[in-house]
Amino acid sequence: MSRRCNAVGVRIFVDVVINHSTGNSQSTVGTGGSKADPNSMSYPAIPFDTNHFHKPTCSINNWNDPVEIRNCELVGLHDLDHAQPYVREKIIEMLNRLIDLGVAGFRVDAAKHMWPHELQMMMEGMKNLNTDYGFAPNSKPFVYQEVIDYGKQIEEDKFST
């Protein structure tokens, strides 16, 4: 699919969730057959386990506290500890695999929930785009981050005709 899309100028951007994993739930099987036990933070197909998440677990209660926003669980989703080189390496490995498959870039979900320097290290670890899919040599993936809309309503009359 990516080869065909790139051949006609359609670029593929992947929405990546690299801040967190699932919340607690019963043991589960993914669409590809991988098994996980979210209650014990065990994701053997990656592999991530309880050691790869922020400890102690906490919930975000103060949205003005950057430490809480970046180290605590967003709505109960297990928060990965990007300070650990292993966690960053596994994420970079996944991003590079997608680049190998011909993607042009990524939309990073929940980017404000990661420390900027750790996010930067992961972005710097990405390969150049794959020239086998028509990208120019030394092209970098295009990366954009989730933008939060704080719910400010636009006055309708400004756009009336």
* Alpha helices (H) in the chain, listed in sequence order: 2-7, 66-71, 85-100, 116-124
- At residue 128, the 3 state secondary structure works out as coil
Q: Is 146 a catalytic residue?
A: yes
Q: Which one of the listed residues 68, 132, 146, 156 is annotated catalytic?
A: 146
Residue 47: asked if its preceding bond is cis (omega within 30°), the reply is yes
- As a whole number of angstroms, the distance between CA 88 and CA 48 comes to 11
Angle, CA 78 vertex, CA 83 and CA 58 arms, to 5°: 85
Q: Is 15 a catalytic residue?
A: no
92 in Cβ contact with 123 (< 8 Å): no
Q: Which one of the listed residues 37, 68, 100, 109 is annotated catalytic?
A: 109
Q: Which residues are catalytic?
A: 109, 146
